[in-house]
Amino acid sequence: MADEADHAQRIAEDERERLVGFARGQLQGRRVRDCVDCGRAIPAARREALPHASRCIDCQEGFESGTPRLRRSG
């Protein structure tokens, strides 16, 4: 049972770090153009509809369902 709790805590900490980094970038005037999970470009239509979006739609759906995509290498 502790393993599940530890895993959930790590996920929460990772998400908190990601959101803090995103907020810092916003404060510095940077726009997020690449998905924080897979590294691919977030389509302009999604960024226009949701300026605060930090994930592409596929990664956001994976995040919400608990099956995140792996970060693209290289």
Q: Average pLDDT in the 40-55 region?
A: 90
- List the one residue out of 73, 49, 53 whose CA is nearest residue 61: 53
Task: Note down the domain range covering 35.
Answer: 2-65
CB-CB contact of 13 with 34 (8 Å): no
**What are the C-alpha distances in Å from 4 to residues 12, 39, 70, 74?**
12, 27, 20, 31
- Tell me the per-residue pLDDT of 1-13, one tens digit each, with 9 for 90 and over: 568 888 888 888 8
Q: What's the number of domains the chain is made of?
A: 1
Judge whether residue 45 has pLDDT over 90.
yes
